[in-house]
């Protein structure tokens, strides 16, 4: 079954400090590209004769499948995390302060089921993730996520991102995981 590009879950016209051009380009090119790439990889794997295929071909396709899958999922989480200017609810704020000392110190906010707490993880190349944990908010720090608006001023992009976090969605995901 081919993967489909989900509709953009936030209204880019209503975001503060993040242009519509930036958000639409990010959604179309990076997220949409990941979905299309995953479909191409899935088709190649379906057509592959695993009994005769060289191991390096299987390994390469499986690695690319992981990168494309995680890119798709993390971009969906990124866009779902935008669209509001509220504050985290009390339970989420308390968890962020407890686990990080501040609401502002994270990149890929993830709930660890094993440790029953929030963790901050790094996901370079979309292949690094904590086993048994579920991401609940993604701050995309690849240049494609901010360069159109901010050039190399990544810190200004982070500030704009934080002004647009949909904390209601993050709290819903946190509560679902923390049960």
User: Which two structure tokens, joined as six digits, stand for 5?
Assistant: 């590009």
Beta-bridge mates of residue 120: 109
- Per-residue pLDDT 10s for the chain (179 aa) are 699 999 999 999 999 999 999 999 999 999 999 999 999 999 999 999 999 999 999 999 999 999 999 999 999 999 999 998 788 999 999 999 999 888 877 778 999 999 999 998 877 777 777 888 999 999 999 999 999 999 999 999 999 999 999 999 999 999 999 77
Give residue 35's Cα distance to chain centre: 13
Its pTM surpasses 0.85: yes
H/E stretch holding 121 reads: strand 117-121
Per the listing, tokens 């071909």 go with 57
What pLDDT, on the 0 to 100 scale, is given for residue 146?
96
Per-residue pLDDT tens over the stretch 101-124: 888 777 789 999 999 999 988 777
Per the listing, tokens 């982070």 go with 158
What pLDDT, on the 0 to 100 scale, is given for residue 86?
80
Structural domains present in the chain: 19-179 (3.55.40.20)
Task: Report the candidate in 121, 137, 138, 140 with the shortest Cα–Cα distance to residue 173.
Answer: 137
Neighbours of 32 (CB within 10 A): 15
Q: In what order do the strands lie in the sheet with 133-138?
A: 117-121, 108-112, 133-138
What pLDDT, on the 0 to 100 scale, is given for residue 108?
86
What pLDDT, on the 0 to 100 scale, is given for residue 159?
94
């Amino acid at each position: 079954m081919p993967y489909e590009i989900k509709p953009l879950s936030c209204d880019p016209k209503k975001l503060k400090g993040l242009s519509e051009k930036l958000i639409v380009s990010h959604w179309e090119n990076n997220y949409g590209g990941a979905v299309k790439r995953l479909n191409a990889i899935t088709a190649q794997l379906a057509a592959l004769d695993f009994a005769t295929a060289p191991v390096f071909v299987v390994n390469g396709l499986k690695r690319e499948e992981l990168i494309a899958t995680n890119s798709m999922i993390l971009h969906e989480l990124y866009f779902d995390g935008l669209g509001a200017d509220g504050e985290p609810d009390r339970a989420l704020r308390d968890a962020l302060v407890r686990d990080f000392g501040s609401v502002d110190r994270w990149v890929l906010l993830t709930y660890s089921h094993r440790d029953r707490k929030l963790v901050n993880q790094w996901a370079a190349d979309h292949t690094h993730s904590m086993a048994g944990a579920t991401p609940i908010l993604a701050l995309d720090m690849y240049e494609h996520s901010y360069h159109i608006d901010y050039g190399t001023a990544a810190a200004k992009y982070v500030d704009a991102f934080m002004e647009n976090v949909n904390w209601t969605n993050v709290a819903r995901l946190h509560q679902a995981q923390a049960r």
